[in-house]
Structure 1
């Protein structure tokens, strides 16, 4: 009797030397799931079995035959364990997934492309010629006669489906540009879709365009899995199951669209797949000239070449089209060169659409097929653009052609057949200098927006003008609204702060700035180190703290000295200047020290580590400081002007602007943000409670240790600085209170981010996904607001509770409830802002800034989607869901060659000649 499934899985895992956690990582499931399998509490779902069998090198099919209770080992298992489902439920899910995939292929390729083609090649029965020597024949060296198989024309009216059935479901389709290869392939796809609908055992026919293969040059199996994910929005696990389980029938179009230097490698990858999966059906389409330039041949049963239209077919088509084409019929009968041009369905239908009521004589003076083809396309484009349309008032003919030329060049340059507005990336900018300028601008814009909001929050909690005799700030702002009373009296013994201009409300602003920096950095990078143990963090504790203190003291001393000289020049008050120097030095030192601490503790990438140092150019830092300082000061000044008066708003706005400029700009703070070289919209999110808390202990430990280190650093810096102006007991107690506030906020930020990064998933089947142009960017904005709404209040409440603890139990202030509530509101706003920006908001901002850059360079109109829809209405583009494709490859190449330019994918690769004969 064979072993049962739990024992089989356990023994196979142990034989390979894998732990339960290692196996779970390979399968992308939790360790608890593997443990349940091996204990018999649940069994692997159908969707995970093919991958499980591949990893463990076993077969569960035999176990299913000998163990009927594979899905449920006990009678009531379906209602006891969430992972256990009935066989009928799994079968229903499997059928649902199949039907969804069949519908997606049909909507995308049959309804979206075949039924909306520029020409209807199906109305003309295209001739096919068998080309057996175009494919590799492994028997040619063994059986000499096989090399003598003659080429022959197939009977008129023979469909590609019939050839597919007769030749073992393996064919190569060759032809000239516009000959109808893709149309024939989609006709075959339509027939295969109907077969798959009727027969559950039939593999799923899926059209893949090979133009994207050269980007990564993956093995064909891995590339198809990735294409199913990115093009058809299929979850990775399901895509793996389908491809590995031979449930996908690949229909590969556009082999000629692979960059020339990679075409031979692509053929080799297809052949390797054929050798590993030799019994699988496959169809490949390629232009004849591109294919025969390669020395390697595809391992397929046979090849067919789409034949040029005959004179009888051309004449019949034009006769059916009506009297308006009489002049064209006569010209074709008399001119053999024009007849050669019209020998493909694409060019024949284009000639008919262009000259159906126009003279054709202007084209007859040209003597080559290529020149006439070029003129026909040019006249066709001008004619369809001259037709009246809603966009006519906004875009002239040449401008429209220029916009389409830019789009075509970049699609060809990046190996794209489909264009999605939300997939635009900074590499669309012409050169590295422009891309650097864009990156600098987007970072400044992000920080300018954030600092404007932070400055406004600072002014709100700083308050307005107090009653005579009371100290500055707090009273008439947020805390005043909550019942704190005027001035800093609510702070009790903490009201003097560090003295000078940094009393009460001023220190609130300093602490708010520290929290802002810490929360920003932690939310940005905490997810990069999920699996963290206490031992790993403990090993970094002392090192991180010492490095942070060293960098903080050096940088804080330099910035503080500059601030002291500046304020002394303004006020001629040495005591005031010293207190400001001390405050700004402590603030800046804390920021630089905290950044250094987090870089070491979280082992941030070398790029971020380099950026966190003060290696940014002086001019760049000055500009950063002016822009960010101006925005921060503006936010503070506007709110302060509303609370008090314009004079106070201007004075304190200027001081706050200087502080923001020095710390966030001049000190290199703008380089702390993650790399924005790639725009990554948060398009689809799904919450998974199981994944969110799968590693809760590691997330908690990391958050607590980071919070502890930040608490120590803030306490040491503020305590040391305060001892220079006050007694040491006051100073260290003061530093302890604010150290708890900043450290607690850091702990909350780290824990929330760890939970968020674990629980939010995007691998979902969603029929609406990218069904409208730029939907991904809009969804990114919605999801950023959702993240802010979820985690802002949670962060505010948690941080407010810790603030209440610090002010109530440590500082023993009677007004601690008001302070806790005020800080909960302010810190909740900071958390909401940062989660919104880093979970979709930055992508939204970066996308529209990129479009502004491209609009400024006149590469595209500002209302870009309206323009693309206009081009689709003029039958130059075709709209498929939320994306656009050129109606035919020849139109793409015509526009890419507009102006006589040649595009190249990179300096290291062969150039891609846009204009083809």
Structure 2
């Protein structure tokens, strides 16, 4: 520590001024969750760092080497936390700094034509697998039914439709036996089509059939656009354009990078097939129609697009889509119903249906005809005749279908006969899942997409928060033991190394993870890290860039740490801290630019995202830990060797770099994701909301024809079935 009282007073004043400036910046930071917590953590860590450095500069004569090692570990820990928390504060500034001032260069930098072709082929195979899986699991396709249609040109607002309103007739074919692709490709429709129908009429099945035929043409001629299935129920922001929403959905569902998705849409390499307009809230449907029309009239308008909606909901608002053609699916004719039932069950069921007008009326809908066929053993005609309304009859049929699917004898690939869940548990778990999907306006479910917002009770949320801390502490122990053995064990013995390592690990878990697991932003979202790739070009760009938020925080951190080190230890030691922090910030910028995810990633198995995140966390920790250790150890050691003993400086820098690298790599590339996901699953399992092996149960529900599985995603066999489960009482 400097001996001159005047110099000590001057340095203290500067440190106080910088600390005051930091706290005064709090009101000017964006009003976002976590800003106060981040600034207070920085101040607290600086105080602890200062106390540790002061103690190490003049340790009591009675202090042992073990005590010195523990205090030194505490100082390193605070320095690590300060670096990471400063980076988090940078991220808060960057996320809320508004649109980037850099010009939009367009294009898809970094992707060659060969890479683009490969990514498009992956997307093509992914969509093909989705279409095949959903068609094979559709109740409509257990026995093929030819869906009938008729033209409804008045449902769309186009030049052709305006002509039809004064007496003209559409020239595009839409007879009961017409194939949908004939209508879609007719010159007067030109690939802009609206599909309407009653609930369960087969709109989604027709859309999937159209996608299947379009995929076949894309395989023959790769210049043809690839159809992509998207659900409009996820459009929840009025200010978000449909173009931006499609780009976001491509990234969410297929991992297509935003700039790549934008260019593909502009170049019409993709053909959006938009389902579920009617699943939006009634007041939002008209807004969505207006947003689609704005997209159709913009410079980014699609060449071809298809929209699906229920007829009644579409007609409930005045706005009409600016598409070229519209078709409406017709109820099944009695001859079709009779032919279907005679092929599947024989004459007895047909005779029962034909003699009951209410049952025959519902059988005209393909969905309910399939349900009646599969669950007719559970239908009691005396109970049926007591039902007064159509809604009661529909609920009765769904209940009969669920009972039949749960009680029928199957050879399960997931459970043995004595291990399978009871019908009551299966029903409850599906009710809970349907309610969560409905609350989140979702139709598709992936295990890795479960979020903390699914926790309904306050006790569950508190258990999740505490669980993140405790599990984070357990994760920190192996890192702490490794560092303790490397640092203290080699000098003071294995026992001392293990002691300091355990202390370091528990401090890591109980001090750092609460900032991540309990932060308001992290509480709301779990983001998976599925793939890692390295780009030297992007890494160099990250090292060379000097963004304003990083510059502000970097200069502040270096100045404050340097002044603190100069005040408490030595001016040369303060200069060493400035250089080391500057090197850390540069390395982190280069790492963030160079190590990133791939553009498209397949979801082949359930919970694939979490398993990949765990693997990437380990790989990221090893890569970043070694990188930071070597670079900081060599460069920082050489610089620090001018201030303190070279061996001590090298050991300090090597272990400090390894600690920072391991923690950044582990947490930034999937570690926090795994901690949050495991804790969330544990809380939900303990509450009885889900089984322990969720993928196994979901596969079992698929065997029971209650869910469909495509790769690693699940959905109910029909949206009406999902709605029925969501309305069922949890305990019956």
Same fold (TM > 0.5): yes
Distance 1:239 1:657 in 2: 45
Distance 1:455 1:93 in 2: 42
The answer (yes or no) to whether the contact 1:233–1:765 under 8 Å persists in 2 is: yes
Alignment of 1:837 with 2:672, yes or no, is no
Determine the structure 2 residue equivalent to 1:609: none
Shift of 1:225: 2.1
Specify which of 253, 261, 265 is matched with residue 283 of structure 2.
261
Q: Alpha carbons of 1:188 and 1:456: their partners in 2 closer, same or farther (altered >3 Å)?
A: closer
Determine the structure 2 residue equivalent to 1:344: 365
Specify which of 726, 729, 752 is matched with residue 587 of structure 2.
752
Shift of 1:860: 1.0
Shift of 1:304: 1.9
The answer (yes or no) to whether the contact 2:691–2:697 under 8 Å persists in 1 is: yes
Q: Alpha carbons of 1:672 and 1:234: their partners in 2 closer, same or farther (altered >3 Å)?
A: closer
Specify which of 257, 277, 280 is matched with residue 235 of structure 1.
257
Specify which of 452, 457, 473 is matched with residue 448 of structure 1.
473
Moved more, 668-677 or 438-447: 668-677
The answer (yes or no) to whether the contact 1:129–1:152 under 8 Å persists in 2 is: no
Determine the structure 1 residue equivalent to 2:137: 116
Q: Alpha carbons of 1:236 and 1:786: their partners in 2 closer, same or farther (altered >3 Å)?
A: same
In the TM superposition, what whole-angstrom CA distance separates every residue of 1:646-705 from its partner, at most 9, and x where no partner exists? xxx7xx999x69995999499999989984532122111211111111142456995985
The answer (yes or no) to whether the contact 1:328–1:356 under 8 Å persists in 2 is: no
Determine the structure 2 residue equivalent to 1:794: 627
Determine the structure 2 residue equivalent to 1:404: 430
The answer (yes or no) to whether the contact 1:140–1:147 under 8 Å persists in 2 is: no
Shift of 1:223: 1.9
Q: Alpha carbons of 1:186 and 1:741: their partners in 2 closer, same or farther (altered >3 Å)?
A: same
Determine the structure 2 residue equivalent to 1:27: 105
Which secondary structure does the structure 1 equivalent of 2:140 belong to? Answer: coil
In the TM superposition, what whole-angstrom CA distance separates every residue of 1:407-436 from its partner, at most 9, and x where no partner exists? 1112122121211111111111116x4586
Q: Alpha carbons of 1:285 and 1:747: their partners in 2 closer, same or farther (altered >3 Å)?
A: same
The answer (yes or no) to whether the contact 2:475–2:509 under 8 Å persists in 1 is: no
Give 1 or 2 for the bigger CA radius of gyration: 1
Alignment of 1:420 with 2:446, yes or no, is yes
Please, which runs of 5 or more residues in structure 1 have no aligned partner? 1-21, 29-44, 49-81, 464-476, 482-638, 644-648, 720-731, 902-917
Determine the structure 2 residue equivalent to 1:382: 403
Distance 1:708 1:641 in 2: 32
Moved more, 302-311 or 196-205: 196-205
Count of residue correspondences = 621
Distance 1:371 1:857 in 2: 32
Determine the structure 1 residue equivalent to 2:710: 880
Distance 2:363 2:210 in 1: 25
Which secondary structure does the structure 2 equivalent of 1:284 belong to? Answer: strand
Q: In angstroms, what is the RMSD of aligned CA positions?
A: 4.0
Distance 2:632 2:444 in 1: 47
Distance 2:623 2:666 in 1: 10
Specify which of 473, 479, 490 is matched with residue 478 of structure 1.
490
Determine the structure 2 residue equivalent to 1:17: none
Q: Which has the higher contact order (CA 8 A, sep 6+)?
A: 2
Distance 2:523 2:302 in 1: 45
Determine the structure 1 residue equivalent to 2:41: none
Determine the structure 2 residue equivalent to 1:696: 543
Specify which of 683, 687, 690 is matched with residue 853 of structure 1.
683
Moved more, 839-848 or 380-389: 380-389
Determine the structure 1 residue equivalent to 2:392: 371
Distance 2:174 2:515 in 1: 72
Which secondary structure does the structure 2 equivalent of 1:231 belong to? Answer: helix
The answer (yes or no) to whether the contact 1:438–1:850 under 8 Å persists in 2 is: no
Correspondence 1:106-255 to 2 at 5 A = 106-109=128-131, 111-120=132-141, 123-136=144-157, 146=166, 155-166=175-186, 167-168=188-189, 169-215=191-237, 218-255=240-277
The answer (yes or no) to whether the contact 1:236–1:763 under 8 Å persists in 2 is: no
The answer (yes or no) to whether the contact 2:137–2:717 under 8 Å persists in 1 is: no
Distance 1:854 1:435 in 2: 8
Q: Alpha carbons of 1:284 and 1:144: their partners in 2 closer, same or farther (altered >3 Å)?
A: closer
Correspondence 1:215-614 to 2 at 5 A = 215=237, 218-276=240-298, 280-323=303-346, 326-355=347-376, 361-386=382-407, 387-388=409-410, 389=412, 390-391=414-415, 393-430=419-456, 433=458, 437=462, 440-441=465-466, 444-445=469-470, 448-449=473-474, 452=477, 456=481, 460=485, 477-480=489-492
Distance 2:505 2:597 in 1: 42
Determine the structure 1 residue equivalent to 2:596: 761
The answer (yes or no) to whether the contact 1:171–1:303 under 8 Å persists in 2 is: yes
Which secondary structure does the structure 1 equivalent of 2:288 belong to? Answer: helix
Distance 1:273 1:684 in 2: 32
Shift of 1:156: 3.7
Which secondary structure does the structure 1 equivalent of 2:688 belong to? Answer: coil
Distance 1:356 1:243 in 2: 49
Shift of 1:787: 1.4
Distance 2:649 2:295 in 1: 67
Distance 2:376 2:406 in 1: 15
Distance 1:458 1:256 in 2: 57
The answer (yes or no) to whether the contact 2:257–2:600 under 8 Å persists in 1 is: yes
The answer (yes or no) to whether the contact 2:254–2:600 under 8 Å persists in 1 is: no
Alignment of 1:785 with 2:618, yes or no, is yes
The answer (yes or no) to whether the contact 1:663–1:669 under 8 Å persists in 2 is: no
Distance 1:180 1:848 in 2: 39
Distance 1:173 1:659 in 2: 59
Q: TM-score, normalised on structure 1?
A: 0.61
Correspondence 1:91-106 to 2 at 5 A = 96-106=118-128
The answer (yes or no) to whether the contact 1:338–1:369 under 8 Å persists in 2 is: no
Determine the structure 2 residue equivalent to 1:35: none
Distance 1:285 1:114 in 2: 17
The answer (yes or no) to whether the contact 2:487–2:497 under 8 Å persists in 1 is: no
Distance 1:882 1:763 in 2: 18
Q: Alpha carbons of 1:197 and 1:153: their partners in 2 closer, same or farther (altered >3 Å)?
A: closer
Shift of 1:806: 7.2
Q: Alpha carbons of 1:754 and 1:676: their partners in 2 closer, same or farther (altered >3 Å)?
A: farther
Shift of 1:291: 0.9
In the TM superposition, what whole-angstrom CA distance separates every residue of 1:379-404 from its partner, at most 9, and x where no partner exists? 21122122354446242212111111
Correspondence 1:2-13 to 2 at 5 A = none
Shift of 1:319: 0.7
Specify which of 712, 718, 721 is matched with residue 891 of structure 1.
721
Determine the structure 1 residue equivalent to 2:524: 677
Shift of 1:765: 3.1
The answer (yes or no) to whether the contact 2:124–2:226 under 8 Å persists in 1 is: yes
Which secondary structure does the structure 1 equivalent of 2:185 belong to? Answer: helix
Moved more, 446-455 or 659-668: 659-668
Determine the structure 1 residue equivalent to 2:85: none
In the TM superposition, what whole-angstrom CA distance separates every residue of 1:495-530 from its partner, at most 9, and x where no partner exists? xxxxxxxxxxxxxxxxxxxxxxxxxxxxxxxxxxxx
Distance 2:689 2:202 in 1: 32
Distance 1:842 1:426 in 2: 13
The answer (yes or no) to whether the contact 1:439–1:677 under 8 Å persists in 2 is: no
